Amino acid sequence: MINFRRVLALVATLVVGALVVTATPLSSSARTGDESSIDARCVGHRPIPAAAMTRGAAAPACSLVGRVVTDGRVAVRVPPPGMSVAGEGVGRHGESRSLQVTNTGTTVRAVSNAGATSTTQRGTAERRASLPACKDRTFHLEHHRWATRLRYRINLAHRPKGFVGKTVIGQIRAANANMRKGRNTCGRPRLKTPLSSYLGRTAVRPNVRPGKSSVSCGKANTKNVVGFGNLPGGLLGWTCYWWFANGRMGAADIMIDTGSNLKTHLPKPCRNKWDFEGVVTHEWGHAYGMAHTGAGHANLTMQHALSPCSKYARTLGLGDWLGMNHMYGHFRR
């Protein structure tokens, strides 16, 4: 994290430098105004449609950093030069949304995947139609990973009604270990993923901004926070993450839906309730560099839609384990 801060400080210096250079030719009226007049020129206010940036947009010195890029359902802010950001969620209805924006320093490029990948079968039927967890080798990677310890905090505000703080913290920590260590029932050994540290509770909100019909990722920072919020539509969880051009992950924030669809203990009988620890395990997968499998892999933790009334997502399927192993390797037995 020290390295990350140093890089961020350097980036901040560069951006400030650029602001000064760009500010110089401004008219005297703009210069006599407060800093917001410079911001208005450099940063602008209106969101940029992601579709306008799929081929890359030139990034003049200060103009695009911090600007909102949106595809209507997902929004992110253009990160500092040399960084990328992505927002990705998991839903109840088989919807898959994601938006990624990369700032190379000279170009800003957006990749949007807002296409819903619905499946006709749901829950138990869908899982029966898919390969068993230990036979399904499917995985996709985001192509960036942690090189250092992931230090995170938990914000318990806005947690679902009836959620006990101690249980929530216990399950979020367990979910982190499920993904990081590659917990599985397929006989595969423990993964070598860098350690994580739970630093305690925080009042800082996750760097995720839920709206009525869309979700935004905030400006890049160095804090990793897991918390709750009122996610739109059928979303159960959302992860925003930031990484550097060299493939090293910089930060990740997870927001879990505050509604009544998630349970720390599934009821009996159970109908349309999702396992909290399983959903958080999936979100930690994104934070560690895993992408969605696509439809037809309903027994894997990293499918875009999770089945209700089962704790299966707490343990990784073979594909989930292979993906994490590809990035981090495993201990020999």
Q: How far is the CB of 304 from Zn ion (least distance, A)?
A: 6
Name which of 80 and 210 has its Cβ closer to Zn ion. Answer: 210
Closest CB to Zn ion among 62 and 316? Answer: 316
Check binding of 11 to Zn ion (CB under 5 A): no
Q: Where does residue 2 rank: exposed (0-12), middle (13-18), buried (19+ CB within 10 A)?
A: exposed
Min dist CB 89 to Zn ion, Å, is 6
Residue 282 DSSP class: H
The Cα 208–Cα 224 span in angstroms is: 11
CB of 210 to Zn ion, least distance (A): 15
In the complex, residue closest to Zn ion by CB: 90
Total interface residues for Zn ion by CB under 5 A: 1
HSE-up of residue 274 (Cα within 13 Å, Cβ side): 30
Pair of tokens at residue 81: 């030069």
Q: Are strands 150-154 and 140-141 parallel, antiparallel or unpaired?
A: unpaired
Helix/strand/coil percentages in the chain, nearest 5: 25, 25, 45
Closest distance to Zn ion from the beta carbon of 142 (Å): 11
Shortest Cβ distance from residue 259 to Zn ion (Å)?
17
- Cβ-contact 237, 305 below 8 angstroms: no
**For residue 18, what are the contacts with CB-CB under 8 A and spacing of at least 6?**
61, 62
| Smaller CB separation from Zn ion, 50 or 90 | 90
CA distance 222 to 7: 11
Nearer to Zn ion, 90 or 318 (CB): 90
Closest CB 292 distance from Zn ion, rounded Å: 5
Instruction: Output 205 or 282, the one with its CB closest to Zn ion.
Output: 282
Helix/strand/coil (H/E/C) assignment for every residue in 219-255: CCCCCCEEEEECCCCCEEEEEEEEEECCCEEEEEEEE
* Least distance CB 303 / Zn ion (angstroms): 8
CA-CA distance, 229 to 135, in Å (whole number)? Answer: 35
- The answer to whether the bond into 308 is cis (omega within 30° of 0) is no
Is 254 a binding residue for Zn ion by CB under 5 A? The answer is no
Q: What is the spatial distance between Cα 257 and Cα 153, in angstroms, rounded to a whole number?
A: 17
13, burial (CB in 10 Å: exposed 0-12, middle 13-18, buried 19+): exposed
**Cβ of residue 282: shortest distance to Zn ion, in angstroms?**
6
* Closer to Zn ion by Cβ: residue 78 or 90: 90
Between residues 90 and 226, which has the closer beta carbon with respect to Zn ion? Answer: 90
Task: Provide the mask over 89-128, with x wherever binding to Zn ion is found by CB under 5 A and - wherever it is not.
Answer: -x--------------------------------------
Contacting Zn ion within 76-95 (CB under 5 A)? 90
Place of tokens 């560099």: 289
* Distances in whole angstroms, Cα of residue 215 to Cα of each of 77, 202, 276: 12, 22, 20
Does residue number 291 form part of the binding site for Zn ion (CB under 5 A)? no
Q: Is 74 in the site for Zn ion (CB under 5 A)?
A: no
Nearer to Zn ion among residue 67 and residue 282 (C-beta) = 282
- CB of 87 vs Zn ion, minimal distance in Å: 10
Comparison of 106 and 118: residue with beta carbon closer to Zn ion: 118
Residues near Zn ion (CB under 5 A): 90
